[in-house]
C-alpha cells in the first residue's frame, strides 16, 4: 500500500499554516469614526433627546457628513 504523503508532510503543512496565520495582517471591520464627528453626534443626541438615529443621520447629511444610521445608533 503506497502513501500519497510522508508522515512529515501534514506537520509541515500545519507549521506553514500557523506561521501564515500569525503573520498575516488583520484588515477586518469598519473604519473608525473621526473623533470630531463622534463628538458632534454625541452633542446632537444629548441636546435633542427626542431625535432618533435616522433624524440625526439626516441632520448630519445636511451638514455634509455622510454616515450610516448604525453608526449614529452607537451613541
pLDDT digits (tens, 9 = 90+) for 42-65: 999 999 999 999 999 999 999 999
Residue 27 scores a pLDDT above 90: no
Cα–Cα dist 53/68, whole Å: 9
Report which of residues 7 and 41 the model is more confident about. 41
Q: Within 10 Å of residue 24's Cβ, how many Cβ atoms?
A: 8
Question: At a CB cut-off of 8 Å and minimum separation 6, what does 71 contact?
Answer: 33, 41
Region 11-18: mean pLDDT is 88
Reported pTM = 0.61
Amino acid at each position: 500500500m503506497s502513501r500519497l504523503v510522508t508522515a512529515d508532510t501534514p506537520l509541515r503543512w500545519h507549521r506553514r499554516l500557523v506561521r501564515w496565520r500569525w503573520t498575516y495582517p488583520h484588515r477586518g471591520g469598519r473604519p473608525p469614526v473621526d473623533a470630531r464627528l463622534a463628538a458632534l453626534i454625541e452633542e446632537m443626541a444629548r441636546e435633542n433627546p427626542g431625535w432618533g438615529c435616522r433624524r440625526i443621520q439626516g441632520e448630519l447629511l445636511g451638514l455634509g457628513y455622510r454616515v450610516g444610521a448604525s453608526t449614529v445608533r452607537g451613541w
